[in-house]
Amino acid sequence: MEDSELVKDFQAGNERAFNELVIRHRKGIYYLALGMVGSHDDAEDLAQEAFVRAYQSLKKFKGKSSVYTWLYRITVNLCLNHLRTRRTRSFIGLEKIEAVMPGGDETDAPTELRELSETAQKAIQELPPKQRAVFILRHFQGLPHAEIAGIMGREEGTIKANYFQAVRKLRQALEPYMRGEE
């Protein structure tokens, strides 16, 4: 059953349809929140809050975007608000960095790889929140710019510029490793 069909079922009174939406999207929502705020506990809370808000608003959902895009937008907005209010540094979980590193297992990695992973974590955490969100959605979630634009409520050109700036900043931060100076 498609997400849109589940929404229609929920709007018709079938509560189980919402549970199916949660099951389908909970991992993606959680990992998006984790990537944005860096804390497992905060990510769980924000993911839960995203689904609570979705539940409260789903009766009025008109389908102008996909359910997936709508849920991600709710999550991104909650995470941005969370980061604004806490004003604390957030950390991307090592497992997310390891996923893009050769080998993936930090415990057996050489010191240089661990240092690179830590430097990459720090560089991602230091990105401005909107650039961080765009980078995570594009790089870790693999979403196209157009879909990110829908999630973020921005023009596609703005999303491309944010992604370009994020990548430029990350390359700059990791440049010593690329040249073999670290």
User: pTM value?
Assistant: 0.68
Residue 118, pLDDT score: 81
Answer CATH for 92-182 from 3.90.600.10, 1.10.10.10, 1.10.10.60, 2.170.190.11: 1.10.10.10
Q: Residue-wise over 118-152: b if at least 16 C-beta within 10 A, else e?
A: ebbbebbeebebbbbbbbbbbbbeebebebbbbbb
Residues of the chain with CATH 1.10.1740.10: 1-90
CATH 1.10.10.10 residue window(s) in the chain: 92-182
pLDDT at 107: 52
Question: Per residue of the chain (182 residues), what is the pLDDT tens digit?
Answer: 899 999 999 999 999 999 999 999 999 999 999 888 888 999 999 999 999 999 999 999 988 889 999 999 999 999 988 887 765 333 334 344 444 444 444 455 567 667 777 888 888 888 999 999 999 898 888 889 999 999 999 999 999 999 999 988 988 888 877 666 65
Would you state the CATH architecture of domain 1-90?
Orthogonal Bundle (1.10)
Both tokens of residue 140? 């870790």
